[in-house]
Amino acid sequence: MTIAERPLRRLVTVDGPDGRSFLLADGAVDDVLHDPARPGFSLTRIWATDGTPALALAAEQVRAMAWSLGAPTHGSVFRVLVLPPDAGWRATTTPAQVQAWFRSAGSPEAWCGPDAPHPYMQKTRTLDLCVVLEGEPTLVLDHGPVTLAPGDTVVQRATRHAWSNRTERPCVVAISSHDAAA
């Protein structure tokens, strides 16, 4: 079973009063955002911080944080993106549906609009550290697309971009986003 086909497992560690580490939590992550216009799409929030230095928040505190494609002010967020093949949604998705998804993700201002090179092109005030886990996603930039492979990394510096899947299988990308100046 591939990463795209199963719930993501999250393990959370903590030190006890005796200073020894143990597992505080081990289970499926339920903090997932889907897009009805893109069947198979998911964005799973693994963890977030609300400042630096980061506090050891509880899972409930992370879950209670508002969704945003950006990172909390002075904070960070770690997510896993599953991209279904574009062929399954691209011809039928409207700008209104894309705009609705950006609103549901808490980031209507991130959308670059219907004239961008990709319907889901976005710009957030984040430094994104990305690694391709599965598949061959395409990073769409204003000056052209770049095809990636498993193990490739991207340092996304608060620029306009979109993730596209021009293959027949889902792609999975892990993204650690950090609050940044644009």
* Residue 157: domain span: 38-179
Counting Cα atoms < 13 Å in the Cβ hemisphere of 88 gives 16
Q: For residue 83, tell me if it sits in a domain.
A: yes
Q: For residue 96, tell me if it sits in a domain.
A: yes
For residue 18, the one-letter residue type is D
Looking at the 3D structure of the chain, how many domains does it have?
A: 1
Q: For residue 74, tell me if it sits in a domain.
A: yes
- Cβ neighbours of residue 6 under 8 Å, at least 6 residues apart? none
CATH code for the domain in which residue 43 is found? 2.60.120.10
- Cβ neighbours of residue 109 under 8 Å, at least 6 residues apart? none
- The vertex-148 CA angle with 10 and 134, nearest 5°, equals 35
Distance CA 37, CA 105 (A): 13
Q: For residue 133, tell me if it sits in a domain.
A: yes
Distance CA 136, CA 141 (A): 16
**Residues 33 and 43 sit within 8 Å (Cβ to Cβ):** yes
Q: For residue 6, tell me if it sits in a domain.
A: no
The answer, yes or no, to whether the previous bond of 53 is cis (omega within 30 of 0) is: yes
Bridge partners for 33 per DSSP:
43
Query: 104-155 pLDDT, tens per residue?
Result: 999 999 999 999 999 999 999 999 999 999 999 999 999 999 999 999 999 9
Q: For residue 32, tell me if it sits in a domain.
A: no
Query: 13-71 pLDDT, tens per residue?
Result: 888 899 899 888 899 999 999 999 999 999 999 999 988 888 777 888 888 999 999 99
Confidence of residue 182 (pLDDT cuts 50, 70, 90): low
Q: For residue 4, tell me if it sits in a domain.
A: no
Q: Which residue has the tokens 């550290």?
A: 129
